[in-house]
Chains A and B, each alone.
Chain A
Amino acid sequence: MSIRVTNLTKKFNGFTAVDGVSLGVDSGELVAFLGPSGSGKSTILRIIAGLEAADAGEVWLEGERTDHLHARARGVGFVFQHYALFRHMTVAENIGFGLAVQGAARPRRRRRVQELLELMGLQGFGGRYPAQLSGGQRQRVALARALAPEPKVLLLDEPFGAVDAKVREELRHWLRRLHDEVQVTSIFVTHDQEEAFSVADRVMVINRGRLEQAGSPAEILDNPGTEFVARFIGEANVFEARVHDGQARIGALAVAVAGFAEDTPVAIVVRHYDLKFWCEDDGGCATVVRMTRLGDRVKVEAAIDGAGPIFSQFPRRSSLLHGIEPGCRIHIEVTLARTYPRSTGGVSDPARSANS
């Protein structure tokens, strides 16, 4: 079941949560809505589910308009961040709820509940109550419950937000494996980049109610379409400067910039790993301030002459780290910089559209 949304708009009390968003999800895809808190990603999800009504725009499920349909009639499975398990029902009753309200016969219900308990690794938990389960177990029950009535679409609203890091990783694997087995069109909402990139087929970056970019994880990482995406995804340095003679000067550092008129204010985004530092006894344009060892990486903070700090990352045993220590002078080479006009995160390539 494919999902399409056109020109969706939603305001709450004068605040625009969703601002003319259009996007599409193909049948069987696993898509992530990625964005910071308050970006509107959950609202879009809830509108697709029918839990909110949009002020404008349409929702199409498998080519049919569903705006007029109540949530219960859309055949959508929904998993909530805080599980929303029915606290007075057992795990089995929770999972079987969708089938029970549809009037399915008991034997069929029991079979399906068993199936899902096994699929979720919750055999033997059928008689327990939600209060007796851990966070990870509860979320697996929530997943099972959503899948039991065989929905055509599965929507997950920050499903792993309420559990701790270790459990989160496990649940991510569950979700991926689940999707490979069940193949239902799925959208999940998250603010965690790693989660989005490791689980989803495609990622849609949403900010302030607008769709910033949609694409595969690789595309988004390597070709951020807007300033926001460049800042938000991966760890990056962001500088503001004005174009002068095809270059932008950040203190003592000069970065080549093409395609902008003279004196345009721009934002320059340089990923931590798109930098090279090397020691220079005389000259150099910056001084190393601090080095932090983070397990397999080393983070180096330097202060550019006449400007602010710049951060870089190197693999632990990188030869580039040779001789670098706090206080020494370094040269900086920028291997890849992305430049955007300094407005509200303008699009660097106007030809790139929102739907991919």
Chain B
Amino acid sequence: MSGVRAAVAPGPGGILVRAGVFAYVGLLVALPLAALLATGLAPGLIALWQAVSAPAAADALVLTLTTANVMALINAVTGTATAWVLVRYDFRGRDLLSGLVDLPFAIPTLVTGVMLVLLFGPQSVIGGWLARQGTQVAYATPSILLALLFITVPFVVRAVEPVLMEQDPAEEEAARTLGAGTFTILRRILLPALAPAIISGTIRSYARALGEFGSIVVVSGNIPYKTLTAPIYVFGEIESGRAEVAAAVSAVLLAVALALTLAARVIERLAGVTRG
């Protein structure tokens, strides 16, 4: 009965645990998010639109999306390359490199921001040099991109790695015996196999980037209409006591993040990817 998963019916203990987990998730996760969505949508769609299209808000949203777009593009390429190098090659320091990839999951985002300030801030060596060249990284848009790139490194890499490891070398060997060159093999065999993982990993990194707060709030300067991203805009609105506006913009961001996560899951399931 290969295709049909047999379920060992859980006893009363199992049902209790299941109910407990449901209750926990319901109260901890579903309830607050429901409150957020409800508060954001309650004043109606027109109010929602007004909140979102307010100049500062709209600008913040555009900035968030733009930086995320660039980040996603870069990640798709570099993440795949990194996964390739970690899986297909063996070299001194490979394990160290793999450990480095996990760094963003271990380090607080705020500390990331601090590190970027130390690295690119006006007091720093690099920051001073850049200022003399006329460019600015800290307290300017490039810092946002760098922060996003930092925190999203693991997403595409870890999504592509398992797929690459499972890749059957026989397919590539067969292609070679039929006369295919390396580029063709990459294009027609490997890329299609890796595409779902690359895409879902990129989507997840995108969703993560949309909500990034800690690193950006420290290093970007939070200049409205210049370096103020959507989450920081929301923060500002909360601090100013305008919770409804904050909720409205949050509802939009949440909806986008939800849609992205769902999309990633669907892609993963369709492609039979086990880890996401």
Contacts and interface: CB of A to CB of B under 8 A. Distances in A.
Interface of A: 12-13, 15, 17, 37-38, 40, 42-43, 46, 51-53, 70
A17 B1 contact: yes
B1 to A, nearest CB: 6
Interface residues on B, range: under 10
B107 interface: no
Contacts of B4: 12-13, 15, 17
Shortest 10 CB-CB distances between A and B: which pairs?
Answer: A12-B4, A53-B9, A52-B6, A43-B1, A51-B8, A42-B1, A17-B1, A38-B1, A13-B4, A15-B4
Nearest to B7: A52
Nearest to A40: B1
B11 interface: yes
Nearest to B6: A52
B11 A70 contact: yes
At the interface, is chain B mostly helix, strand, loop or mixed?
loop
Nearest to B8: A51
Contact of B6 (A38, A40, A51, A70): A51
Contacts of B11: 70
Interface in B1-32: 1-2, 4, 6, 8-9, 11
Nearest to A41: B1
A70 B4 CA distance: 22
Contacts of B2: 37
A85 to B, nearest CB: 18
A62 B11 CA distance: 25
Nearest to B5: A12
A13 B6 CA distance: 10
Contacts of A52: 6, 8
Among B1, B2, B4, B11: residue with most chain A CB under 10 A: B1
Nearest to B4: A12
Interface string B175-195: 000000000000000000000
Contacts of B9: 53
Given A17-B1, A38-B1, A42-B1, 4 more contacts: A12-B6, A17-B4, A37-B2, A40-B1
A43 B6 CA distance: 9
A70 B11 CA distance: 9
A43 B4 CA distance: 11
20 contacts: A12-B1, A12-B4, A12-B6, A13-B4, A15-B4, A17-B1, A17-B4, A37-B2, A38-B1, A40-B1, A42-B1, A43-B1, A43-B6, A46-B6, A51-B6, A51-B8, A52-B6, A52-B8, A53-B9, A70-B11
A17 B4 CA distance: 10
Contacts of B8: 51-52
Nearest to A51: B8
A15 B1 CA distance: 11
A279 B4 CA distance: 52
B96 to A, nearest CB: 28
Contacts of A43: 1, 6
Nearest to A71: B8
Contacts of B1: 12, 17, 38, 40, 42-43
Contacts of A53: 9
Contacts of A38: 1
A277 B264 CA distance: 65
A46 B7 CA distance: 11
A206 to B, nearest CB: 13
A51 B1 CA distance: 14
Contacts of A12: 1, 4, 6
Nearest to B9: A53
Contacts of B6: 12, 43, 46, 51-52
Contacts of A42: 1
Contacts of A40: 1
B15 to A, nearest CB: 14
Contacts of A13: 4
Interface in B246-272: none
Contacts of A37: 2
A37 B3 CA distance: 12
A52 B8 CA distance: 6
A114 to B, nearest CB: 32
Interface string B59-77: 0000000000000000000
A52 B9 CA distance: 7
A237 to B, nearest CB: 30
A46 B5 CA distance: 13
Nearest to A39: B1
A17 B6 CA distance: 11
A15 B4 CA distance: 9
A222 B2 CA distance: 32
B8 to A, nearest CB: 6
Contacts of A46: 6
A191 to B, nearest CB: 13
A12 B4 CA distance: 7
A38 B1 CA distance: 5
A12 B8 CA distance: 13
A251 B55 CA distance: 87
A274 to B, nearest CB: 35
A269 B1 CA distance: 29
